[in-house]
Amino acid sequence: MSTEIITSGLVKELRDRTGVGMAKCKEALEQTKGNMEEAIAYLRKMGMTSAAKKEGRTTKEGMVLSYETPKLVAIAEIDAETDFVVKNDRFQEFAKNIVEEVALTHPSSLEAFLQQPYSKDKHITVDQYRSLLIQTIGENIQIRRIAILEKKPSESIGIYSHMNGKILTAVVLQGAGEETLAREIGMHVAAAAPEYTSPEEVPQEVLQQEKEIAKEQIKGKPENIIEKILQGKIQAFYNMVCLTHQKYIRDDSVSVAEYAKKQGATRGKDVRILRFLRWTAGK
């Protein structure tokens, strides 16, 4: 096919299939003498080249999304360079497609996920799909991290999205049918930003560092009260960084663990906080 009969309709079809700008689509069709499949391959190669130049750019903006199936909840963070691009319809569509892909394919790791064929176009990998978006939008786009939370009959998972996906939390409770409660606690997690679920999760090196800081602060105190003061400071540390020990944001008369237990008791259930996740896009 000669370049003279590369119609605007053909260019538009290629644009619709790839999302690449009209000028680049026309160039691809001219280079491949109007062969649609070869033009797509040409653009993919261009996209990979173009994307490579942008890979080093910092991605400080983004969004965290979730996708739920009967068996699991998938979570993915997709980052870009600017908030303007994050609000772009193509970026939003890409992000939704990615988290859905995570849910449906259940990858073993982010690295494996990036290299697997993209289910909606098996001619390309997930990472090549990402590169095509970079070519279209002109900014570095990164799939930063993914997670899968398996559903269990005896547990409840609550998802809370804050600031249009800037922050996403997930809370897992022991106790079936408590998704609403788990989401309420997820709102607390978004606001209070705990670092650990419970004191048992605090690494020994972190605890030891806190003890050393506390000892420095109470130097010169009478020996008979040093240990008591030290215990109080460590307890205060737990109350600050551990979800179960934090004061619940909607009722500071109880800890989050106490609130969960109290709410479960009203329904005749033993509800406990098992774990949580809190992701901030671009952080």
Query: Which CATH number is 33's domain given?
Result: 1.10.8.10
Residue whose structure tokens are 């983004």: 62
pLDDT digits (tens, 9 = 90+) for 266-281: 999 999 999 999 999 9
Of 72-86, 90-104, 154-168, 208-222, give the lowest mean pLDDT range: 208-222
Domains in the chain: how many in total?
2
The pLDDT value given to residue 105? 97
Determine the Cα–Cα distance for residues 147 and 279; give it in Å rounded to an integer: 11
- The mean pLDDT value of the chain amounts to 91
Tell me, yes or no, whether 23 and 98 share the same domain.
no
Q: Which domain holds residue 99?
A: 55-151
20 falls within a domain = yes
Question: 22 and 38: one domain?
Answer: yes
Interior/surface letters 20-56, b for 16+ CB within 10 angstroms, e for the rest: beeebbbbbbbebebeeeebbebbbebbbebbeebee
Residue 40: inside a domain: yes
Rounded Cα gap, residues 20 and 34, in angstroms: 16
- Whether 42 and 99 share a structural domain: no
Say whether pTM exceeds 0.85: no
CA distance 275 to 259: 15
pLDDT at 256 over 70: yes
Cβ–Cβ under 8 Å, residues 126 and 66: no
Q: Are 48 and 59 contained in the same domain?
A: no
Same domain, yes or no: 35 and 86: no
Burial class (CB in 10 A: 0-12, 13-18, 19+), 207: middle
Structure-token match 């994050």, residue found: 86
Same domain, 121 and 60: yes
**Is the pLDDT score of 16 beyond 80?**
no
- Among candidate residues 151, 189, 181, 184, the one with its CA nearest the CA of residue 269: 181
Q: Are residues 61 and 135 in the same domain?
A: yes
119-133, 239-253, 255-269: the lowest-pLDDT one: 119-133
